[in-house]
Amino acid sequence: MKLTMPALLALAGSLATNPAIATESANNEDTSSVSQAAPMTPPVAEKRDHSYTRHGITIEDPYHWLKDQSYPTIDDADVLEHLKAENAWFEAQMEPRKDLVEELFEEMKGRIKEDDSSVPQKDGDWIYWTEFEEGKEYRKWYRKPATGGDASLILNENELAEGKDYFRLGAFSVSDNGRYLAYSTDDNGSERYTARIKDLDSGALLDDAIPETLSGLSWVANDTMLAYGKANENWRVDNVRLHRIGTDAADDVEIYHEEDEGFRVNAGLSAQEDWLIIATGDNETSEVRLVRADDPTGEQILVRERRKGIEYDVDLRTEDGETTLFIHTNDDHINFRLATAPLAAPGEWTTLIEGSDEFYLTDFELYQDFYTTEGRLDGLDQVQVRSYSDPAQVRPIRFPEASYVAGLSNNPEYDVNKLRLSYESMVTPDSVYDYHLDDGRLELLKQQEIPSGYDASLYKTERLTIAARDGTQVPVSVVMRKDRPAGAGPLHLYAYGAYGYAVPPGFSTSRLSLVDRGVAYAIAHIRGGDDLGRRWYLQGKLNERTNTFEDFVDVAKGLIAHGYTEKGKISASGGSAGGELMGVIVNTDPDLWGAVVADVPFVDVLNTMLDESLPLTPGEWPEWGNPVASKQAFAYILSYSPYDQVVAQDYPPMLVTAGLNDPRVTYWEPAKWVAKLRDTKTDDNVLLLKTNMGAGHGGKSGRFTSLYETAEAYAFILWQLGLTDE
């Protein structure tokens, strides 16, 4: 479906909360400015008796109290004081590295073009683009008439963020007539957005305010209404609602409500913007309804009833008065097929593109004279232009490197003769192309500028495969300097490995601060992502979840065997579900790692999946298993849950982060884990926990403040790998 701009939501993680998650004092507390004497020893969390029994198994949980029992309000003085004590210990340990942090931060900042702008793109009667001003954290949004004329500023994120510790723009949608801008913002990291409407003719902000949104904003009913999803009290979007301009949001009409508490609902416009597509589903099952965009309260058409394990998404094309549905589905092939159906019989699907063992079909887009398909072949991105009249006519878009990341970018119009593409690799900065349909020409419009300088010829990238313990060949992408000394040197290994998210082998300016200091940087494309197709994802979830962890460890050992590095010289990092990965690998193979960074780690897996009151838990059972109903799922999750598997052994140096307002991985998961590690581990290695007291899952907002946190993580890695001047 065509969406003007996706909501800026973080990668799927664990749980949710509400905007009143912390007390004012907690949100305003900045431990870096506390004038108290630096602590000499790390904080030790009190143990308090707590246990529970499920399926005849009793689990002791002495740090259960770190979950504020009045959650989602967090006002327990003991909890807040402990988190502040951990922050103070973090500051004390990092204080001698402040110069290194500042050095890294200035390096990273120097690679960012401060007065940057996006490539303008036409949408209807207007041309749109964004700009950054020097020194500013956030974007300014502009447009000008497509026929020529002056530019006008339509939204200034910096003004919206003024005086706020956190700011995030979510949905952004201009009405078809060009008069109204609907947008949503989050000012505390809880991911509960408030939507507003601006009259672009007068510049006035309308009185309309729609609180608690967690979705895109789609203009319907001839630009008189917005379709959106409202988060319920459990941070679940189980509805589609309509807001009429000029009315109170309390009077908004619900046009769809989902009864299954594990399903989430989303809505967006079709390619021709004449249908509102209402999609509902969980991690493995979906169902779609259609309603006319000009009559959104009218009769809805069910495409096909949900069937467990069957996923599908839909778009529509009307030509010569006939409307055809295009359906992307896994109903008869694990790597998806593309089918069509007449609007009069939406459930009667006829194959247009067969499913393939080799080609993983991930998406499609409809345009007036052609359509496109996207997917991966041998793990590499593919974009193909296809003919409506001749299914056999396929024109692949060719890209210049052997390993890269490429895909369709911002293409808002239906009738086009060129396509906007994005492209990058581990050595090629982010690039914007137009692909001309008439002659197949790729026109480079912009490549990411690095003000402090960047010479791609100094670097090399490699893609290799390493055998996991079960014989599966796991792809690995590596980038390093060509002048890196031969032999086993320091290496950083990153992965995510969940939810079918494929980590792209793309470009990073921040990463250069490690690579330029002799660190090879590797991405392990482990099972749990869908890098090599849908089966690759399925082999890393539910009862095969441990493949993900074993793949990562085996890739590290393989990189040692190939001479890239050696035991103890590897740093590792991952966030959210990738933080769960970090928690497992330090339990199973602690001696491999010289340093580990676990960002907002999902480490209290068993407790989270047992707690049905937590907002995302029911929807997560298809991913992790349901330990409430299944003794087998309980035992399997218990066998790897990082918090539950902490043992008395030496652990590597570790930096752990959390967000007090995190609606996905709640703050107590990393807090409990670190508390148990401190009490149990047998080494003297550094263990740090930093909790952002006014931020959420993605850490601090703003392009520079978030960069500073990356600098802190890299300083920790370099310190622990012995690559500093100390």
CATH number at residue 709: 3.40.50.1820
**Calpha distance 1→30 (Å, rounded):** 43
Backbone angles phi, psi at 614, to 5 degrees: -75, 140
Q: Are 63 and 662 in contact (CB under 8 A)?
A: no
Confidence of residue 165 (pLDDT cuts 50, 70, 90): confident
Q: How many domains does the chain divide into?
A: 1
Q: Which entry of 14, 431, 662, 701 is annotated as an active-site residue?
A: 662
Q: Which two tokens stand for residue 465?
A: 């495969």
Confidence of residue 23 (pLDDT cuts 50, 70, 90): very low
Residue 349 covered by a domain: no
Handedness of CA 577, 581, 582, 586 (dihedral sign): positive
Q: Is residue 650 exposed (0-12), middle (13-18) or buried (19+ Cβ within 10 Å)?
A: exposed
Average pLDDT over residues 592-620: 93
Digit-coded pLDDT (tens) for 381-406: 999 999 999 988 999 999 988 889 99
Digit-coded pLDDT (tens) for 53-68: 999 999 999 999 999 9
- In this predicted structure, which of 10-24, 40-54, 573-587 has the lowest mean pLDDT? 10-24
Q: Are 410 and 395 in contact (CB under 8 A)?
A: no
Average pLDDT, the chain: 92
- In this predicted structure, which of 68-77, 448-457, 600-609 has the lowest mean pLDDT? 68-77
Q: Which two tokens stand for residue 480?
A: 């390093």
Whether the per-residue pLDDT at 437 is higher than 70: the answer is yes
Confidence of residue 695 (pLDDT cuts 50, 70, 90): low
Work out the percent of the chain whose per-residue pLDDT is above 90. Answer: 84
Whether the per-residue pLDDT at 73 is higher than 90: the answer is no
Residue 1 covered by a domain: no
Residue 318 covered by a domain: no
Q: How far is CA 34 from the centre of its chain?
A: 33
Nearest C-alpha neighbor of 479 from the set 466, 462, 495, 454: 462
Nearest C-alpha neighbor of 658 from the set 26, 25, 8, 20: 26
3-state secondary structure 394-438: EEECCCCCCCCEEEECCCCCCCCCEEEEEEECCCCCCEEEEEECC
**Calpha distance 157→137 (Å, rounded):** 9
- In this predicted structure, which of 173-177, 661-665, 680-684 has the lowest mean pLDDT? 661-665
Backbone angles phi, psi at 142, to 5 degrees: -125, 165
Confidence of residue 28 (pLDDT cuts 50, 70, 90): very low
Q: Which entry of 218, 576, 641, 701 is annotated as an active-site residue?
A: 576
Residue 82 covered by a domain: yes
- In this predicted structure, which of 18-32, 52-66, 112-126, 454-468 has the lowest mean pLDDT? 18-32
Tokens 């009490």 sit at which residue? 679
Whether residue 525 lies in the annotated active site: no
Residue 167 covered by a domain: no
> How many C-beta atoms surround the C-beta of residue 335 within 10 A?
21
**Calpha distance 715→711 (Å, rounded):** 6
The angle subtended at Cα 590 by Cα 597 and Cα 50, nearest 5°, is 80
Residue 134 covered by a domain: no
Given this model, what pLDDT does residue 20 score?
24
* Rounded CA Rg of the chain: 25
Digit-coded pLDDT (tens) for 469-509: 999 999 999 999 999 998 899 999 999 999 999 999 999 99
Whether residue 190 lies in the annotated active site: no
Q: Of residues 432 and 30, which shows the higher confidence score?
A: 432
> How many C-beta atoms surround the C-beta of residue 2 within 10 A?
18
Whether residue 662 lies in the annotated active site: yes
Given this model, what pLDDT does residue 30 score?
41
Digit-coded pLDDT (tens) for 238-294: 999 999 999 999 999 999 999 998 899 999 999 999 999 999 999 899 999 999 999
Given this model, what pLDDT does residue 15 score?
25
Q: Are 337 and 355 in contact (CB under 8 A)?
A: yes
**Calpha distance 709→90 (Å, rounded):** 12
Whether the per-residue pLDDT at 153 is higher than 90: the answer is yes
Tokens 């299914």 sit at which residue? 391
Residue span of the structural domain in which 470 resides: 24-29+60-109+457-720
Nearest C-alpha neighbor of 701 from the set 5, 8, 178, 6: 8
Cis status, amide bond into 475, omega within 30 of 0: no
Q: Which two tokens stand for residue 85?
A: 């004590």
Q: 697 by DSSP, 3-state: which? A: coil
- In this predicted structure, which of 295-299, 371-375, 693-697 has the lowest mean pLDDT? 693-697
Q: How far is CA 121 from the centre of its chain?
A: 25
Residue 654 covered by a domain: yes
Digit-coded pLDDT (tens) for 190-239: 778 999 999 999 999 999 999 999 899 999 999 999 999 999 877 889 99
**Calpha distance 670→616 (Å, rounded):** 18
Residue 69 covered by a domain: yes
